[in-house]
Structure 1
Amino acid sequence: MASSSMTGVCADELQCIVCFELYEEPITLPCGHSFCKVCIEQHWESREEATVCDCPNCREVFPIKPKCQKNVALAKLVEKRKLVPGVNVEKMKLVPGVNVEKTKLVPGANEEKMKLTSVVNVEERRCTEHGKPIQLYCKDDESLMCVMCLVGQHKNHEVVPVELVHDEFKGVLNAKCPELSKSKQHLESQLHQLKREVEQTQHSGKGTVDRMEEKRLALYQYVDKSVDLMKSRVIKRQNKKLFLLQKQMDKVKEQLNSLHETNSTLKAALQDLETISFLQGYKDVIKRLESVSHFQTLKMAQPTVLDFSKEEKNLGSLIELHEIFLKNIMKPVELQLSELDQSSLRRLYGRTPSLDPNSAHPLIKISRDLRTATRTRTDNHHPEHPDRFDYYVQVLSSDCFSSGRHYWEVDVRSSSRWGIGICLNSMGRKGGGIECGLGGNPESWCLLKYENKYSTWHNDQGTLLSVPGDPELFGFLLDCEEGEFTCFGDSRVLHVFRGNFLVPVKPAIGVYDDDDGHSVRFCSF
């Protein structure tokens, strides 16, 4: 607390509560509070009711404007204060916090803090409108202000010293620290997990590339072996036929030589004129002629050419197979959604749909955060609306999707009979026909649990599913461009609907339990 041994009073006792400077021509009101004469006159002039005069400190109202007389004793103390060596009057300002009627200091406030202090940057701590020091905070307008502002736009507002609101707001921020730290730790854990997944992906990719290089060599060897085998088969068939043809040629040559010899013998016999000699050789000639006579009756088959089309076709099929394979692997590479787990889907495409109260059946109560649909026995007296279901206990989301990928999850642990899916906004709402039930029409797609059995429905066509256990959480991924709506249960793909989802569709919930209190909830991401 600033004080002076010469004056025997504290410095703040010699300052005007309006301008926060040493009194200039101090005057004292009937209530006992003192002010600069100019300050009190300006305060009264700024009042909306010019005929009403009050004390800026205690707010006492004076029916008749008090006669302002100079407080001589106080003025002398101020003069003595100005003469104290080493006192820099310009830097002596009040720290925010004064006891004014509307401000009503919070009980227990540390009055020691509401004293003079040295201000480094005076201009930044002054009210831009009045030029007075800022020492108050308006909670209604959430703005800083000076005492003069109390009689202006902040009149009748809840105003507190900045020192107190400073401690209050610091408490609010301190309370946020554990939550922020927890979120930071959670995100750091996610980042660590993603980095580890990056390393695993890089490692798995490198291993796959190395193995592919090995398979390339094996493929080369396989192709070489296949071609060599086919060539070997062709040569073997060719050589076999050539061997047989050569045997036939040798046989024909042998017969031809025999014919030449027989012909020579025949000519020699015909030229033999001696009777006895001719008759002695006649029988031999006849036998030789008979032995070669059948050569003339042999018929040669038409020449045949070996057919190697089968071998060529086999190799052609191998080439065609590789062409088809090459076309497939040359297609644009796209990450398959089946390769992503549900945590990745949450991070990439996670959504938290909001329920539309205007569509909720009268027996459905919507939570304040628009996430939970609860079945009730009694009518919730929803106002009439053309979008409201009046027969099926269902509700739609207010969110609408027609492009991109969207993933959401639904908590079903509090319900034993439910339907979850998507539908066009044009799906029927009134009456008990199939056109109004999820999955009972061409405009909706639904995963249903009923009587402890799971099934999918679209256009009144159902498919029974085998779902291990009894999952409490189900995930749904809508891929509008691919035209796929995928249902997940315990990280397993249960079913994939296919349709035209480039038209706007909405997430939908049906709570089909008969008992009161059963609910289905959209999970928050």
Structure 2
Amino acid sequence: MASSASSSSDVGVILNELTCPVCFVLYKEPICLPCGHSFCRVCIEKSWENREEETGYVCPNCREVFPQKPKLKKIVIIANLVENMKLKKGKVGLGVEAQDAEHADVNVKEGVKSWGSESCCEVCNREAAKRCVPCEILCCEKHLKPHQQKGHKLVDPGVKIEELRCIGHGKPILLYCKNDGSLMCVTCMGEEHQDHKVVGVEIAHAELKSVQDVLAAKYPHVSQSMQSVASKLRQVQEEEDQTENASRDAEDSLEEKRRLVCQFVNESVDLMKSEINKRKMEKLSLLGKQRKKLEQQMKDLCQGKSAMDTALQDLEAISFLQASKDLLKRLTTMSDFNSVKRTPLPVLDFSKEEKNLDGLITLNKNFLEKIQKGPVEHPDKVELDQNNLRRLYGRSPSLDPNSAHRLIKISGDLRTATRTWTENQYPEHPDRFDVHAQVVSRDCFSSGRYYWEVNVRSSSWWGIGICLNSMGRKGAESGLGMNPESWCLFKCDDEYSAYHNKQRTSLSIPGYHERFGFFLDCEAGELTCFGDSRVLHVFRGNFMVPVRPAIAVWGVYGGSVHFVHLVKQTFITN
């Protein structure tokens, strides 16, 4: 048995040596190339036929190129060995005839380039398993064995040979320079990398793989950081867009105010000039009448004086006596002129008109001086009282019905919020408050200055303030002043408080107030609450994001609260 096994093993070795490396069956008419490799004549002929367009003739095994087609001579010794093996087929049971029959089916792949993108073996039609880098050939599992035995570098079929060769020398990349992190061939090592620390690419890959693992562990953190930065970038972009829109709206509003101010000044000056001209004409008419009367008196006096001169010069008794009676009568009339007193007319007084204009000029001059000094700061509460706030920044907000709680009824003019006993049939809406009896304004502010007033005469339990547009509308946390996104002036019976983020500040407000004012300065980040012409409390926060005025009407006593319609203020000229 041992002898039989040994004989079978020896025959197997001999069979491997008598097998064509192209068709993997016993040689049929074996030939030898100048490089020493043997093939079946039909295999090598088909291989060269499919490469007629290439320069020279290539050995499918070692890839040596022959400029001219080598003479193909039959190797008699190998042919005889093959025949002897066929005679022994019955003894070893190797199916030599079957292998020999397969030889007729060998079909070398046509038109395959070593640099192509095909995925088939360049020797046969089988699917390629690897690409041999030194030989630049795609090989299937069977044709890969000679390259593995020679220790050639093998890569996946999809890898391009050009990427694995040194650009400068065209040789395989085998080394990695740690000094400058470059890949190189053996020739490169003797040039600029001579004194550098150089290792094999496999060693470098193993070392860098640990770094890769560290990077992979940090990848989720980097990804999260990218998402966070992207979110902040979107917020910055939104704020930039909001700033552009707010600036454009502010400029449009200023242009409108410029037009209104110019119109007001022109109308005021024209009205004053008309009044001045009217008073002038009245006085000139009276003076004209006095002048005509005095001119007539002067004429009569001149005539009397002339008559007296004539009488005094006429010494004849008869003539003097004839004229004396008429002359004495004239003298009596002229003596009455001295008793007549002229009533002086009142001086034209335009001091009130000038005072009104001086007030407007002074106010604008102070405003311009503040602008010239730098950014407009928060207005001085002493200089800008509620009258000035109404005139300069007055707004009349309107309520948003889509946000009203079902126990809040909104008036037709959208200014009054009334607490009802039964729920109103409002449609479902994501902005509607579902727990607290509250409503917000349609107006949304993120830049500039705004002033509005609220009348609370009909309610004893209310909350008034502002909230961020992003404040939630659902649940217990949506109450005004009960979260970090709202600021609220609160009244219950006769007690006043200021609420923000559940923090309560008790306020001492004596007396009964029916009207409260609210001045919002977005840039300064302040909401100033006024009552009875004095500051009650100042809320501070980031009001450069969209905020809305808000109203709450609580308690079982009902009541209503409404935004006051602020009428444009004008100067009084009389």
TM-score of the alignment, normalized to the shorter chain, above 0.5: no
What TM-score does the superposition give when structure 2 sets the normalisation length? 0.35
Q: Could you say which structure has the larger radius of gyration?
A: 2
